[in-house]
Amino acid sequence: MLKEFKEFAVKGNMLDLAVGIILGAAFGTIVNSLVNDIIMPIISGILRMPDFSNLFVVLRNPTDQAFTSVDAAREAGAAVLAYGLFINAIISFLIVAFALFLVVKGYNNLKAQIAKEEEAAPVEPPRNEVLLQEIRDILAKRTV
């Protein structure tokens, strides 16, 4: 059983998956930075608000006080609908989805180009077939 697990763990597909997961985690950090440090400041400049994370609606407020942030409302025990955080998550998702689309599109284009080149390149017959054809042609000339 240990031998089977070892064979499974070192297969190419498993290693590819592990590399993909690690790269995906690193890519997530880059996307978060892109959203929080570049895109959201631009949007906040246009909309005159720092970001969407503090857009929320208090559904139930046990203390009857006004809250300036989602965290403050949650700490006070208020039921909060944090739609601003949801908007931030949607923006992050769209960026990741678009980046993956570009990667897959590039991969498919490269794959199609390689297939086209393989299709266009004439396939040389193996050397032994060429020799057999030459021998056949010589024998055909002798019998005629």
Number of helices (H), then strands (E), in the chain: 6, 2
pLDDT in single tens digits along all 144 residues of the chain: 878 777 766 666 777 778 888 888 888 888 888 877 888 788 878 878 767 888 899 988 888 888 888 888 899 888 999 998 898 888 878 887 888 888 889 888 998 998 888 777 777 888 888 888 888 989 888 876
The angle, 0 to 180 degrees and rounded to 10, between the axes of the packed helices 12-33 and 83-120 is: 130
Say how many CA atoms lie within 13 Å of 37 toward its Cβ.
6
Domain boundaries, the chain: 1-49, 52-144
pTM recorded for the entire structure: 0.59
